[in-house]
Structure 1
């Protein structure tokens, strides 16, 4: 069977009949109240707020540390290490928890990542290192790496469980709620990561910045703690109980033959998006410096950064609804293409936009650019990654794609300054501002083409149909799918079969 030879929509029967026939009962349980069906989605996905806050706040902390320790900090390796080390930890966490979420438990993988988050967020805030500045910065770097592992765990464990939990929600609304409690949470975290430092610096004043940066990091303890009780009450998603391979050996050769191409496509799109999205912070700092100059207080700089991050929200929130209306594939393709077009316009007009006379126009156009990115790949790449694979290997599939995204972000933060530096006239020239936009916009168009022509269509029941497709593939290659499912689910299935056979023995089956 080829990779795209049978899409979920081609399965020959109705959704309701297939779901009952294969799994025993439909996921959408109308006997449950709205809150009963919604809170698992919230509990699984909302932890990504921590990712947005803890990844974003380190930029403001870097600014405070640079102000406090001047050349001792900026001329050391600590400045780049503190920024970058969490990316490395996140990739490790994504891959590790991707494995545990498939082979052990979605719930307990989530609990472990939550505990790691609040422990190392607290330790980061209390970084000491023996009392010396270098020791303190080394401790902060180490805690940030371990914190990144917890952040990484939120991606495969939280997002895939969130996607599976949306199966109990009303059809036509599933994509929006997944997005609202994954990507929108990350973006709200980004806004909070600049708003909170602005308030803290105003409250502490610039005479007490040593306390301010520790408070900013310490606030990162609150989001994971707030979800701890909800996550403790979670049950494993029903789809996971039905389809997991935790009690058998995963047939990796068959999995790779079935999914390698699709995973490559999803990973490439995520790499391209994060390569651009995380790297464009260089532009926010450039126009903020135009507006404020060199003598502005820190809180004003943080306030303007809050405005930059706020631009993500309109696109993310509206894109959540659009994803339900036209589907994730079309939404991703259309909006990333539009983002590329706006990027080319900004590159062409950069000489006029990046001046104090037209800085307001630059801010608005740049905001549109960011919003389009969120409405497209920002909202939908995680949705695509969590719904284009079978439940049995979804955590690892998602983790690999998300890890490529983080690697793209890491590479972009280093490549974009090199592009600027090597432009004719240097980083401060017009070409130094234009060239990154040309590169990023070209990649946006490439990403749109890849998504449009190589991604499958994703509908409201794709998770169920993808599991059917994967089971059929395994059975066609001689693998016994009766090994799938948790032990509890296997026992319940055997009991159901025994009961059905007993009933048939007691009462003849009538022919219609």
Structure 2
């Protein structure tokens, strides 16, 4: 009899979510540091390319506005090129989340990587029939949708596999490695998405912006191309191999996880919903500092300065997550962000003056950094580690999709808030009263309703879930991937 089967039969009741188990089988594997860490890197680092390809389109839109003001500026093409990737991302999160659990972590991840590479290259080389601009913009819109599929696939495939692979890292460092290879990569990409175009525009000059936008998009395909080799060598995470489900008892899963999923999804929704309004500040003080007549590269340089503020927050949050736990770090970080947001809102009238803009930039940077310390770093980690391995892809993918929906809703709600404000000052203040209040509410939800996440939570949560399924009469002996002996493969 398989010792694992004997152990399964002894599980009759599932332990509380905040208890700690003594055994940590993933940490006992005889592997070097590189053997433990490179799967986490290979799984998560693709988010750099995701972030770059998502963020750089803002710069490309600015270039299109300059190149084709009559055809593009304020047109339906401008809206479609900017937003269609969002729709693809949501579809990708849901579809690849399903495939990640039902099919394979590594194969799903490989498919998303190929999609990123192929459609990233097609975006950079988009041409219309007979060289028409409308044809080019239509082609770019289609390519951006499919690119969004690949971006969405990285979340439930790449981040989930990174979380499972991080379980083999040294205890006490697992959360930081997950964050450094996921959210920190996104933050690095946000810096690159303005720094790289600035360098490209300086190199090409503003008389050659047609070449500049293609180069900016084309550079985004290099990271997924470089990851293809590493991801071809990936094996299924050990935890996934042990816990993979072949038959999914949907109703039992919903009964066990609906409350926890709702909390994670709601926090993610509010975080992305609020992020839209936070960009108002940066646009306001950028206008004060550089004005309307500055060269494009100057604007991109200041955008880089803004985005750099994310990095220290993400780095600090990665270590705080290990030291204080993801739940506490998320709650404290988002609460402090909300508090600073309220202070900034009260000081908003000074934003229109050159006298205080320097101090305001510093406070705004602290504000952005706190967002990364809290939900930026930890909401994805909580989504990945508050559920069992067999359904992690779908749990994570649907929660992340709710975040994207929140961002989409925010793009429509906040302009209405601004439009209905009684005066110009309130137009800047009202969105931030709403956003800061949501930050504080998110802190309340996280602290009181999210479970404690330990270093060994993935293994522990799988044990809880197995025990629950057995208690409900589900046959857990069918779970896992059975290795086929080499001699059997040769006969076949």
Interval of TM-score (by shorter of Structure 1 and Structure 2): over 0.9
CA contact (8 A) 2:65 2:72 kept: yes
The Cα of 1:388 is off from its aligned counterpart by: 0.4
* CA deviation string 1:143-171 (max 9, x = no partner): 11100000000000001100000111100
Asked if residue 94 in structure 1 is aligned to residue 93 in structure 2, the reply is yes
The Cα of 1:376 is off from its aligned counterpart by: 0.1
CA contact (8 A) 2:18 2:451 kept: no
* CA distance in 1 between partners of 2:436 and 2:353 (Å): 21
Asked if residue 243 in structure 1 is aligned to residue 250 in structure 2, the reply is no
Specify the SS of the correspondent of 2:68. helix
Specify the SS of the correspondent of 1:459. coil
Sort the Cα spacing of 1:8 and 1:450 in 2 relative to 1 into closer, same or farther, 3 A. closer
* CA distance in 2 between partners of 1:424 and 1:32 (Å): 63
Paired residue for 1:204? 204
2:22 to 11, 15, 29: 15
* CA distance in 1 between partners of 2:65 and 2:263 (Å): 40
Paired residue for 1:267? 265
Paired residue for 2:7? none
The Cα of 1:361 is off from its aligned counterpart by: 1.7
Unaligned runs of 5+ in 2: 1-12, 487-492
* CA distance in 2 between partners of 1:410 and 1:257 (Å): 29
The Cα of 1:430 is off from its aligned counterpart by: 1.1
Specify the SS of the correspondent of 2:294. coil
CA contact (8 A) 2:270 2:442 kept: yes
Paired residue for 1:50? 49
* CA deviation string 1:273-312 (max 9, x = no partner): 1112244223222211111111100000000000111111
Q: Name the Cα RMSD after superposition.
A: 1.5
Asked if residue 127 in structure 1 is aligned to residue 126 in structure 2, the reply is yes
Paired residue for 1:297? 295
Which 4+ residue blocks in structure 1 deviate beyond 3 angstroms? Answer: 8-11
Paired residue for 1:144? 144
Asked if residue 436 in structure 1 is aligned to residue 431 in structure 2, the reply is yes
CA contact (8 A) 1:354 1:362 kept: no
Asked if residue 80 in structure 1 is aligned to residue 87 in structure 2, the reply is no
2:454 to 433, 452, 459: 459
Moved more, 345-354 or 378-387: 345-354
Unaligned runs of 5+ in 1: 20-25, 493-512
* CA distance in 2 between partners of 1:70 and 1:84 (Å): 19
TM-score normalised to the size of structure 1?
0.90
Higher relative contact order (CA 8 A, sep 6+): 2
CA contact (8 A) 2:14 2:464 kept: no
Paired residue for 1:343? 341
* CA distance in 2 between partners of 1:5 and 1:464 (Å): 13
CA contact (8 A) 2:18 2:453 kept: no
* CA distance in 2 between partners of 1:244 and 1:431 (Å): 53
* CA distance in 2 between partners of 1:453 and 1:129 (Å): 54
